[in-house]
Amino acid sequence: MAGSEPVSAEGESMAVDAAPRKPRILLAASGSVAAVKFANLCHCFSEWADVRAVSSSGSLHFIDRASMPKDVILYTDEDEWSSWKKLGDSVLHIELRKWADIMVIAPLSANTLGKIAGGLCDNLLTCIVRAWDYSKPFFVAPAMNTLMWNNPFTERHFISIDELGISLIPPVTKRLACGDYGNGAMAEPSTIYSTVRLFYESKAQQGRAVVTLR
Amino acid sequence: MDCSDPASKKAKAEAGCAITRKPRILLGACGSVGAVKFGHVCRCFAEWAEVRAVVTKSSLCFIDEQTFPKDVVVFCDKHEWLTWKKLGDPVMHIELLRWAEIMVIAPLSANTLGKIAGGLCDNLLTCIVRAWDYSKPLFVAPSMNSIVWRNPFTERHCTEIDELGITLIPPVTHTTASGDFEHGAMAEPSTISSTVRVFYVLKMQKK
């Protein structure tokens, strides 16, 4: 089929050039105050990876678009159907899912956590999650105020997403402990970046080892 | 740090006078036909409590703001981030949650019931519920069409919220606005108010 040729070609090139190509990281922000750090997070990853960004409508209140890296495209809900006119046209959340090697949601809000745990997909971000290929790594860095964190749903939802195969980058507990509900919970952008990079490079080494053994 | 600011100190001082002070009750309304009675619910509670109200976007279709008592402040989604400009600024759902001693959602719609049962928090009302401290009482008075009430999800969701610690004030057999004569109509405002008041008085007596 005509529609599958470009994807196959791209797949082939990926296989041949896997080692030297920059990893493709899809970064996403949901509606938490900690989203004020999203631009900083994108900068951290841009130094090392090819980055695209997705934001939920709730997170846009906190993201300063002017401070986003210039080479990072930021997709929002209104982009979802802009490329679709008729059957056969590309759907954005499917294209982004195919493009990405790794996905990171930081911050992950309590609301989006609940949606993911329940399989809901009512916006661009949650549609990508719902379609995600779990042979590829997926990280979340939650951010919510202490009172929401203590609610029983949080633990229940984390169990659900852990079963899906999502890795948790835990919040900074010392800020939670003092009751700071403004921004405190999310791990530092540098921590999120180094966690993902270490994971990626260790996986890349495993891949090369397998190739060598053959 | 926020936990040592003047507002917190004032709150602690006021807590010491809990017995002589009117209870603080946060009333919530969802998008159900029963919301036409929300003004009446507020009046019933305002007779014996200090009241603030939270309404969802859908509930505004049914609520007549002119029926509200003048001393009741009404919050809706647009207020959520009005007070927030930078890190450290207050977040509305947290401020309301800290203020309230009791929360009552009347009417509770099927949609919001499902959201609460699933831990979703996509508006001011559901954010407050998601962060609620269950050492404080939370009541809900459902209101939905009888066909919706009988759907299997309703029982499942009611079981979920019961496990959370939410107390249900059951709907009544009534003729609903859509003409059905079965369970589903919200309990009467006076019933809701007296149920919560009895609970509050009993709780105070234990202290």
Distance CA A97, CA A128 (A): 6
Structural domain that includes position A40:
24-212
Spell out the alpha helix ranges (H) of B100-178: 110-118, 124-130, 146-149, 152-164
A175 has binding-site annotation: yes
Q: What 3-state DSSP class applies to B169?
A: coil
The average pLDDT across B58-78 equals: 89
Distance CA A51, CA A22 (A): 9
Structure tokens at B101: 């001693």
Cβ-in-10-Å burial (0-12, 13-18, 19+) of B204 comes to exposed
pLDDT score for A89: 82
Q: Which of A111, A145, A178 sits opposite B94 (nearest CB)?
A: A145
The average pLDDT across A159-184 equals: 72
Q: Which of residues 61-80 of B touch A (CB under 8 A)?
A: none
**Is A61 annotated as catalytic?**
no
A100 has binding-site annotation: no
Catalytic one among A42, A93, A127, A157?
Answer: A93
Closest CA to A143 of A166, A119, A98, A175: A175
The DSSP string of A1-34 is -GGGHHHHHHHHHHHHTTTTSPPEEEEEE-SSGG
pLDDT-above-90 percentage for chain B: 64
Query: What's the distance, CA B47 to chain centroid?
Result: 17
Q: Which of B97, B126, B164 sits opposite A147 (nearest CB)?
A: B97
Query: What's the distance, CA A138 to chain centroid?
Result: 7
Q: Which residue has the higher pLDDT, A179 or B123?
A: B123
Distance CA A57, CA A72 (A): 18
Q: Does A145 touch chain B (CB under 8 A)?
A: yes
Composition of chain A by helix, strand, coil, percent to 5: 50, 15, 35
Q: What is the mean pLDDT of chain A?
A: 84
pLDDT at B53 > cutoff 90: yes
pLDDT score for A18: 53
Sheet holding B138-142, edge to edge: B73-75, B50-55, B24-29, B102-108, B138-142, B167-168
The average pLDDT across A206-213 equals: 66
A14 domain residue, yes or no? no
Contacts of A182 in chain B (CB under 8 A): 2, 87-89, 91
A112 has binding-site annotation: yes
pLDDT score for A67: 93
pLDDT at A175 > cutoff 70: no
Distance CA A97, CA A135 (A): 12
Instruction: To the nearest 10°, report the CA torsion of A171, A172, A174, A180.
Output: -70
**Is A178 annotated as catalytic?**
yes
The enclosing H or E element of B54 equals strand B50-55
The average pLDDT across B35-47 equals: 96
Per mean pLDDT, which range of A53-57, A62-66, A124-128, B98-102 is the poorest? Answer: A62-66
CB atoms closer than 10 angstroms to residue B195: 16
A31 has binding-site annotation: yes
What's the total number of domains in chain A?
A: 1
Distance CA B46, CA B109 (A): 23
Q: Does B16 touch chain A (CB under 8 A)?
A: no
pLDDT bin (cut points 50, 70, 90) of residue A20 is low
Q: Which residue has the higher pLDDT, A36 or B86?
A: A36
Contacts of B131 in chain A (CB under 8 A): 145, 147-148, 151
| pLDDT tens, position by position, A61-70 | 899 999 999 9
pLDDT at B145 > cutoff 70: yes
**β-strand pairing of A167-168 with B73-75:** unpaired
Q: Does A64 touch chain B (CB under 8 A)?
A: no
CATH of the domain at A190: 3.40.50.1950
Q: Which residue has the higher pLDDT, B72 or A1?
A: B72
| pLDDT tens, position by position, A33-73 | 889 999 999 999 999 999 999 999 999 989 999 999 999 99
pLDDT at A3 > cutoff 50: no
Contacts of B126 in chain A (CB under 8 A): 111
Q: Which residue has the higher pLDDT, A200 or A172?
A: A200
Q: Does B97 touch chain A (CB under 8 A)?
A: yes
The average pLDDT across B164-188 equals: 80
The average pLDDT across A109-122 equals: 94
| pLDDT tens, position by position, B3-16 | 444 555 555 555 55
Written out in words, the top-level CATH class of the domain with range B22-183 is: alpha beta
pLDDT-above-90 percentage for chain A: 62
